[in-house]
């Protein structure tokens, strides 16, 4: 099995989501088995967070909320996500009335971005010849209650994940929510911003897959920020250790905890651009001949 992880930028409305559907269609035809892990689409997480802040300041957020709903529904017009929108509305209303929220409430609200994303992607793929099933990662990723950046209970999560997927129907592609987990008492938690990469590596390790492909909107990891430095060069290969240094330096492309589960399972991670499939991306694996980053 191989895990395909799609970031928010890759899943945006229009060309983004279209490319994702066609990438998955072609992988489905050629791979023995795949599982998807998805982030919230576009800027949904920031969007939800900013509506929550407006509500806390007792400001109006209705216009934003209407735009948010339109954005979520655009790729799959006619499908009904009312239950999720009602939950979002009720959190925002309560926050506006009280003028405050707690971190658990914020995690539950942000979680709706990934839930909507996995539902939309799963349904679109079903309609385009790829049988899928929506999978809520809160069933098997169990954490402490450090809301906003919860810590995984590794052994428990591994057992539950294996058990969950043991009876998963063959030939059906799981579309798993990134970023989300829950406490032992079923309270929603999140794994930290950009945490969907970490979700993908945890799933990869627990299921013992042969590789993870992580799709984003840039060609891979560069020697510097290509938007700022015109001399920035794409790094074709990195070792896990080198990637860890980059992740810990705060590069948004890699969540800090992403590498360890892959290192544990010796599972390569290939970072690719869903808008430019001609690029070879950055491959992160155990050994690497072109050592680009020297140990400090």
Question: Residue numbers of the site for ligand ASP (CB under 6 A)?
Answer: 7-8, 39-40, 45, 113, 178-179, 193-196
Shortest gap between Cβ of 67 and ligand ASP (angstroms)? Answer: 18
> Helices then strands (H, E): number in the chain?
9, 11
Q: Which is nearer to ligand ASP, 88 or 288 (CB)?
A: 88
Yes or no: say if 215 and 10 are a contact pair by the CB < 8 Å rule. yes
Give the C-alpha separation, 154 to 275, whole Å: 34
Q: How far apart are CA 232 and CA 15, in angstroms?
A: 26
Report the partner that residue 177 touches, choosing among Mg ion, ligand ASP, none (CB closer than 5 to 8 A by kind). Answer: none
Which pair of structure tokens corresponds to residue 282? Answer: 């950055």
45 binds Mg ion (CB under 5 A): yes
d(C-alpha 67, C-alpha 228), whole Å: 31
Residue 8 contacts Mg ion per CB under 5 A: yes
Tell me the backbone φ, ψ of residue 118, rounded to 5 degrees: -65, -35
Residue 265 binding Mg ion, by CB under 5 A: no
Tokens 């010796």 label which residue?
A: 266
Query: Which one among 6, 16, 21, 39 touches Mg ion, defined by CB under 5 A?
Result: 39
> What is the nearest approach in angstroms of Mg ion to the Cβ of residue 49?
11
Q: Which is nearer to ligand ASP, 11 or 55 (CB)?
A: 11
How many angstroms separate the CA atoms of 78 and 80, rounded?
6
Structure tokens at 295: 């140990």
Of residues 123 and 193, the one with the C-beta less far from ligand ASP: 193
Closer by beta carbon to ligand ASP, 40 or else 271:
40
Give all strands (DSSP E) within the chain, no chain letters: 2-6, 34-38, 132-135, 142-143, 173-177, 180-183, 188-190, 211-216, 237-239, 269-273, 282-285
178 binds, among ligand ASP, Mg ion, none (CB under 5 to 8 A by kind): ligand ASP
Stretch that binds Mg ion, among 7-15, 29-37, 160-168, 287-295 (CB under 5 A): 7-15
Q: By CB under 5 A, tell whether 189 contacts Mg ion.
A: no
Q: How far is the CB of 39 from Mg ion (least distance, A)?
A: 4
Nearest-angstrom CA–CA distance, 285 and 271: 11
Residues that bind Mg ion (CB under 5 A): 8, 39-40, 45
């Amino acid at each position: 099995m191989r895990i395909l992880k799609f970031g928010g930028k890759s899943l945006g409305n229009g060309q983004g989501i279209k490319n994702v559907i066609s990438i998955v269609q072609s992988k489905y035809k050629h791979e023995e088995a795949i599982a998807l892990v998805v982030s919230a689409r576009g800027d949904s997480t920031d969007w939800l967070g900013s509506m929550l802040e407006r509500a806390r300041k007792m400001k109006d957020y209705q216009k934003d909320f209407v735009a948010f709903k339109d954005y979520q529904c655009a790729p799959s017009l006619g499908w009904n996500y009312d239950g999720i929108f009602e939950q979002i509305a009720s959190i925002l209303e309560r926050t506006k009335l009280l003028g405050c929220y707690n971190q658990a409430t914020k995690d539950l609200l942000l979680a709706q971005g990934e839930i909507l994303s996995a539902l939309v992607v799963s349904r679109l793929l079903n309609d385009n010849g790829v049988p899928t099933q929506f999978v809520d990662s809160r069933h098997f990723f169990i954490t402490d209650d450090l809301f906003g950046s919860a810590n995984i209970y590794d052994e428990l999560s591994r057992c539950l994940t294996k058990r969950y997927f043991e009876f998963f129907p063959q030939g059906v592609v799981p579309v798993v929510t990134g970023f989300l987990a829950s406490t032992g008492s079923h309270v929603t938690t999140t794994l930290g911003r950009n945490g969907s990469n970490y979700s993908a590596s945890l799933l990869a390790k627990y299921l013992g897959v042969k590789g993870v492909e992580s799709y984003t909107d840039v060609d891979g990891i560069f020697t510097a920020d290509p938007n700022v430095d015109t001399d920035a060069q794409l790094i074709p290969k990195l070792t896990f250790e080198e990637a860890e240094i980059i992740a810990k330096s705060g590069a948004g492309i890699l969540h800090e905890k992403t590498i360890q589960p892959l290192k544990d399972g010796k599972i390569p991670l290939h970072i690719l651009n869903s808008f430019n499939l001609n690029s070879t991306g950055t491959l992160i694996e155990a050994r690497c001949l072109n050592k680009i980053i020297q140990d400090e």
